[in-house]
Every structure is written in structure tokens, then in C-alpha cells.
Amino acid sequence: MCLAIPAKVVNIKGDGAQVDFGEGVLREVNVTLVDAKVGDYVLIHAGYAIQVLGEEEALETLRLWNEILEAAR
């Protein structure tokens, strides 16, 4: 139920947006809950975008993981 799938915002019209789930799978979703712009990746749950995914934070996570693994090797 709490499954949420990342998708890329293709265009926005009011509360609605068309998002791409990858390989051209497009769907209309509601973006009332987020401040998303075209090109952003958002998490979609039951037809509603619930959060904008941060590319910087994703890279930061990978950096931190490597830092943890490098520590005291």
C-alpha cells in the first residue's frame, strides 16, 4: 500500500501532471502535494506525487555509503 514509484515530470497543468515511469509509460497524476517542475523526479503513490526526489541527496547517500565502507578498512 505504501508503495511509491519514481517518475519524471513531463508537463504540468494546474494540479495535474503527466509523468513518465520510464520507457515511455506515461500517466496523469495529481501534483497538489508537491512543488514540482518539469524535469523533476517525483515519488508517485496512488496517483498523487508525494515528494520530489533530490538528485543531490541521492548522490550524497552514495557518497556517505562509500565513506562508511572506507572507514576503518
Partner 1 sequence: MVENLRFRDATLAKRVVEKIHNLASKEGTVKICHVCGTHEWTITHFGLRSLLPTNVEVIAGPGCPVCIVPASEIDEAIQLASKGMVITCFGDVLRVPGSKMSLLDAKAEGADVRVIYGVSDAVKMAEKEPNKEFVFFAIGFETTAPSTAVEVIKQPPENLSFLVSHRLIPPAMKLLVDMTDLSLNGFIAPGHVSTIIGVKPYEIFPKRYHMPTVVAGFEPLDVLFGVYMILKQLSEGKPCLENEYMRAVRWEGNVKAQELMRKVFEVVNGNWRGLGTIPSSTFKLRRKYENHDAHLKYGVKVEDGVDIQPGCKCHLVIIGKIKPTECPLFMKTCTPQKPVGACMVSIEGTCRIWAKA
Site for partner 1 contains 53 (CB under 8 A): yes
Instruction: Give the distance from CA 25 to its chain's centroid.
Output: 15
Site for partner 1 contains 13 (CB under 8 A): no
Site for partner 1 contains 18 (CB under 8 A): no
Site for partner 1 contains 65 (CB under 8 A): yes
Distance spanning both ends of the chain, measured CA to CA: 40
The residues, any chain, with a CB within 8 Å of residue 40's CB and separated by 6 or more, are: 8, 9, 52, 53
Instruction: Give the distance from CA 50 to its chain's centroid.
Output: 9
Binds partner 1 (CB under 8 A): choice among 10, 26, 33, 38: 33
Residues that bind partner 1 (CB under 8 A): 1-4, 6, 8, 30, 32-35, 41, 43, 45-48, 50-51, 53-55, 57-62, 65-66, 68-69
